[in-house]
Amino acid sequence: MRNHRFPNSSHREAVLTERAREMRHQPTSSEQVVWQAIRGCRLGVQFRRQVALGRYIADFFASEVGLVVEVDGGYHQRLRARADERRDRWLQRRGYTVLRVQESLVLRDLSAVLSVIRQHITARRE
């Protein structure tokens, strides 16, 4: 079945790359908080933000350990749950671990979020 939104894969990649660039320049407040805490190998691995992985854009990605970190607000819980499940399965089939953290937890208890991210990094290294 042909995807009519993207006539070919190179067009899709270009669209995703441009969208990721736009998203890097307009992060949510919770994404900005997480980025300040994990950038520059602060957790022992290099994270990139708003990275195109196949047909999806990951909020944060550590290629060294194959870890995708997604910061989800209320929009994801209410309107994106099914789509997020499909997306997570697609990424997992390609060997990535997807960690979803709630925006409210990021803003309330960043240290807990960072602890969970560290645990996933450690587990992926084993």
- In the prediction, which pLDDT does 26 show? 83
Place of tokens 């950038």: 39
Beta strands in 55-115 (DSSP E): 56-62, 67-72, 97-102
Is the predicted pLDDT of residue 44 greater than 60, yes or no? yes
Answer whether residue 109 is part of any domain: yes
Answer whether residue 77 is part of any domain: yes
* Sign of the torsion formed by the C-alpha atoms of 81, 107, 16 and 54: negative
- In the prediction, which pLDDT does 5 show? 47
Answer whether residue 4 is part of any domain: no
What is the average per-residue pLDDT within 14-40? 87
Answer whether residue 56 is part of any domain: yes
CATH code, domain carrying 84: 3.40.960.10
The residue segments making up the domain with residue 66 are 9-125
- In the prediction, which pLDDT does 78 show? 58
What is the average per-residue pLDDT within 94-122? 97
- In the prediction, which pLDDT does 38 show? 98
CA–CA separation, 76 and 2 (whole Å) = 27
Q: What pTM value is reported for the model?
A: 0.84
Answer whether residue 89 is part of any domain: yes
What is the average per-residue pLDDT within 96-116? 97
Answer whether residue 3 is part of any domain: no
Answer whether residue 32 is part of any domain: yes
pLDDT (tens digit, 9 = 90+) per residue, 60-102?
Answer: 999 999 999 999 986 545 567 888 999 999 999 999 999 999 9
- In the prediction, which pLDDT does 113 show? 98
What is the average per-residue pLDDT within 9-19? 75
Answer whether residue 2 is part of any domain: no
Domain count, the chain: 1
Least confident among 19-23, 72-76, 93-97, 106-110: 72-76
